[in-house]
Structure 1
């Protein structure tokens, strides 16, 4: 169940990130063209781009956690054996869950405080800006709990591998499956 929720969140966040990037790109590019070419602009461009960028960062963090590609300090983990590595994954997962709780509580408080403040041009509440912390804290729980469960049960030793090794092995698999290289082979 946790794995299915984590996959659904991953796919949803991938779509939302792409959508946010497209909207930001169109707004900023269009605004630059209009400013320099026609001496006008898109009024909501700056505010909406800034809001989308904040959401993009936090959604990207959830996505990186779900795909286990987030930045981590793994020097100690590399020195440990497989069993201790699993315990370290569980320990760091618990610390991340505590951080998620702090994001949820703080995000909720900031969102409520800023509900009465509005963006000057867009006219929407600043609560939308601070709601990202609440959404992030809740969404991050699922991939982290899934990682903890898999490490605790020893289901996925790839969780405890070095990230550089995982990336290298994935790149090798991808390059061996390329059709243009298949055609060159005798």
Structure 2
């Protein structure tokens, strides 16, 4: 069990670093293309396509980071002074929903990736599945963190 925890800690550190690299790459590619298009009157034909792939990757990686670090938007529809038992129940429900979303991303992301690997992105010639392969990859930490929280719980349900 300790190896699994250690693996996911390393994996989370890796995806945080990857998210930083993707964000910088997006900014650079878009900035260079804008400069070339307006100053030099010629752009990079592949830049929008690569930027789109990077945005999709950044989105799903950030989603996985958000599940682990509780960074998603929360709405308090119920009074905050509910009994602790109901708070725990709602937290379990939240984690079950996250687990379900992770499962959907894993199953249907895998199907979408397999289906789109046959298509080619026109600007780069890369398989279109490159854009979607991040869905099943990002679903793995989402599923792990949801299960971990279901089993171990969270200290502060409002964290």
Unaligned runs of 5+ in 2: none
Residue from 105, 108, 112 that aligns with 2:107: 105
Classify the secondary structure of the residue corresponding to 2:124. coil
Question: What pairs with 1:5-44 in structure 2 (closer than 5 Å)?
Answer: 5-44=7-46
- What is the total number of aligned residue pairs between the two structures? 157
Matches within 5 A, 1:45-84: 45-76=47-78, 78-84=80-86
Alpha-carbon distance change, 95 to 50 in structure 1, aligned in 2, over 3 angstroms? same
Distance of 1:32 and 1:139 partners within structure 2 = 35
Looking at structure 2, the residues matched to 58 and 30 of structure 1 have their Cα atoms a distance apart, in angstroms, of 25
Quickly say closer, same or farther: Cα 1:13–1:122, change in 2 above 3 A. Answer: same
Unaligned runs of 5+ in 1: 164-186
Task: State the alpha-carbon separation in 1 of the partners of residues 76 and 13 from structure 2.
Answer: 27
Aligned equivalent of 1:139? 141
Match of 1:157 in 2: 155
Return the TM-score normalized by structure 1: 0.76
Residues 6, 66 of structure 1: 8 Å contact kept: no
- 1:62 is displaced (CA, Å) by 0.8
Q: Could you say what the CA RMSD is over the residues aligned between the two structures, in angstroms?
A: 1.8
Is 1:148 matched up with 2:150?
Answer: yes
When Rg is computed on C-alpha atoms for both structures, the one with the higher figure is 1
